[in-house]
Structure 1
């Protein structure tokens, strides 16, 4: 690492989440296509639009710190998305597919919330007020998405998987 201080770590983590968001953009359409519940399909499509905004905000944060937007491979998000793809393959056509998709999507959300929470805190420490605000907006949207996935699971998806399996 060229700059082994908090600013350097902020930049490296920013590159990490930039990669993650772009990878998520590619995964969401496939998840929407295979989802059986129309509500779940709609949730994935809505989140794709939000994710596009997240990528744009990250580009703004890069600009604020005087760096060009550049991704750094993130093995963690690659693994989480690979697990989601395994769910899609293993449970294709199964009543449990949507429940597995929600679980996979929430794993992604929890990763994103951890990253955005950290970046927001570091931006605050570094006095990056504008970056902190942009990261806070995205963190709030990620938390709302996680909550809506929980609601969807608890009000329909999990019950439908159980009911269809019986």
Structure 2
């Protein structure tokens, strides 16, 4: 893909988020399975379902724009997964692994929030009004997930203190 216009950049960034969401849809069930805390497990599984909808919303944006969905490799989630795998090799206690997983999920949500804000701004600037509600839905769910994970981090942290 050659970058010659703001629309090319938008499509690249949309493809990058497509890759992020697809990778997260694979990682979230792994995190859920690692957690014995039912609230944390539920939070990850619920967000996995939302993430699968995020993938469909992005595919719908591509369709609206008359394009085939195209993933652009995004290394952010790959890096978070590598950090996770390295941490797991340290054989942490279950509660420590749960906190690590919560923090990793929290980080990924803010990555998504930043990217969706930028995509919405770009779509608005270019008059791609039909994509905006789909991107806003993803943004809102990621903001809610970040809030929920933040609360769980706080609650579990207080129990350990």
**TM-score exceeds 0.5:** yes
Shift of 1:91: 4.7
Partner of 1:14: 14
Cα drift, residue 82 of structure 1: 1.8
Q: Distance in 2 between matches of 1:122 and 1:95?
A: 41
Deviation at 1:86, TM superposition (A): 2.9
Note the aligned Cα RMSD (angstroms): 1.4
Is the 8 Å Cα contact of residues 35 and 94 (structure 2) preserved in structure 1? Answer: no
The yes-or-no answer on 1:145 pairing with 2:145 is yes
Q: Does residue 41 of structure 2 align to residue 41 of structure 1? A: yes
Calculate the TM-score normalised by the size of structure 2.
0.93
Return the offset for 1:90. Answer: 2.8
Shift of 1:133: 1.3
How far is 1:65 from its partner? 1.1
**2:15 touches 2:70 (CA, 8 Å); kept in 1?**
yes
Structure 1: gaps of 5 or more residues: none
Give the Cα–Cα distance (whole angstroms) in 2 for the partners of residues 94 and 73 of structure 1: 32
Unpaired runs of at least 5, structure 2: none
CA distance in 2, matches of 1:38, 1:86: 24
What is the alpha-carbon distance in structure 1 between the residues aligned to residue 89 and residue 40 of structure 2? 18
